[in-house]
Amino acid sequence: MNYAKIIGTGSYLPRKVLSNKDLEQLVETSDEWISSRTGIHSRRIASTHETVTSMAEIAAQHALKMAQLEPNQIDLIIVATCTPENFFPSTACLLQHRLKIPDCIAFDMSAACSGFVYALATAEQYIRSGAAKQALVVGSEIMSRVMDWKDRNTCVLFGDGAGAVLLTQANEPGIIDSQLGASGTEKDLLTLPTGLYDDAAYVRMNGREVFKMAVEAMTNSVRHLVEENGLTVQDIDWIIPHQANIRIIKAILTRLNFPMDRAIMTIHEQGNTSGASIPLALDQGIRDHRIQPGQHLLLEAFGGGFTWGGILLKY
């Protein structure tokens, strides 16, 4: 039986820090409002010469170094992004070119803030079936370029960054199970148009509705994954949730009776980096040694679509 196991992770965050105080100069808001309603204190903003691909490349290089793998050993690249440079060529192809990989499968995944979990679950299927041996899965986002900087409902929430994970074929898990879901009925509650059919290529959101659905979907997904696999929530060592709002995370953990200090949090200093938030948090937890080999992890995401998903794995 082929399993998919994580052998490397990496991150990249742009240098520029945008604090809540800085945002007070842009829109009618306050540090107090943003931090008490969201948990966010600051976020990173990409410079004009940075792209989702340049950020993805640095995160991927860090993951390759940790895994002690050469780029040409990768046979599958999936990049989760909702802020690509092009419709085509995909960010995955641009990344393949930068990493000088002569031939491999490469494509982007579009599932908004759930993109990384969708991409990791997809890469796992390739490895399980034997169609790929080593997969690079990246979440990379420049959300600052799709913000309406006059809209205080959205521009205070998001940030930029990239996170990468390398998977390899293994005899034992690794990824134990995944669960993905979507509901297009709520398509109008969280949107980012292309700009091709109207002028506004900005994120728009009904915050209250998104909040409620995010809590419900992610709580159910955790319960489903642990029960399906004969575990209880107490068997999970770390939950790595999508970093959208600390109050969403707290509401989920309270419902699950799961301690806050067993969830990896990056929201305070990164905001919501959409598809990059889970691999960024995972990399942080691994590099600061909170996450240890053999521990059970649960990655949980929710985003526009609506889309959601969870991955249960043994690190």
Q: Which residue of 152, 255, 287, 296 would you call a contact of ligand COA, by CB under 6 A?
A: 152
Q: Taking CB positions, which residue lies at the least distance from ligand COA?
A: 207
Cα Rg for the chain, rounded, in angstroms?
18
246 touching ligand COA, by CB under 6 A = no
Q: Which residue of 16, 17, 22, 33 would you call a contact of ligand COA, by CB under 6 A?
A: 33
Q: φ and ψ at 121, to 5 degrees?
A: -65, -35
3-state class (DSSP) for residue 215: helix
Q: Which residue of 182, 201, 205, 231 would you call a contact of ligand COA, by CB under 6 A?
A: 205
Q: Which residue of 73, 110, 153, 219 would you call a contact of ligand COA, by CB under 6 A?
A: 153
Q: Please tell me the distance from the alpha carbon of residue 140 to that of residue 280, in angstroms, as a whole number.
A: 10
Q: Given the residues 93, 113, 155, 245, select the one marked as catalytic.
A: 113
3-state class (DSSP) for residue 226: helix
3-state class (DSSP) for residue 41: coil
For the question of residue 82 being annotated catalytic, the response is: no
For the question of residue 296 being annotated catalytic, the response is: no
Alpha helix (H) residue ranges in 137-245: 207-228
Closest CA to 39 of 299, 244, 279, 206: 244
Give the amino acid at 173: P
Number of residues that bind ligand COA (CB under 6 A): 20
First to last CA, the chain: 18
Q: Measured at the alpha carbon of residue 215, what is the angle toward residues 211 and 219, in degrees to the nearest 5?
A: 170
211 touching ligand COA, by CB under 6 A = yes
For the question of residue 272 being annotated catalytic, the response is: yes
Q: Which residue of 156, 222, 236, 291 would you call a contact of ligand COA, by CB under 6 A?
A: 156
Q: Please tell me the distance from the alpha carbon of residue 34 to that of residue 37, in angstroms, as a whole number.
A: 5
| Cβ closest to ligand COA, residue 67 vs residue 190 | 190
310 touching ligand COA, by CB under 6 A = no
CB of 160 to ligand COA, least distance (A): 15
181 touching ligand COA, by CB under 6 A = no
- Residues near ligand COA, by CB under 6 A: 29, 33-34, 37-38, 113, 152-153, 156, 205, 207-208, 210-211, 214, 244-245, 272, 302-303
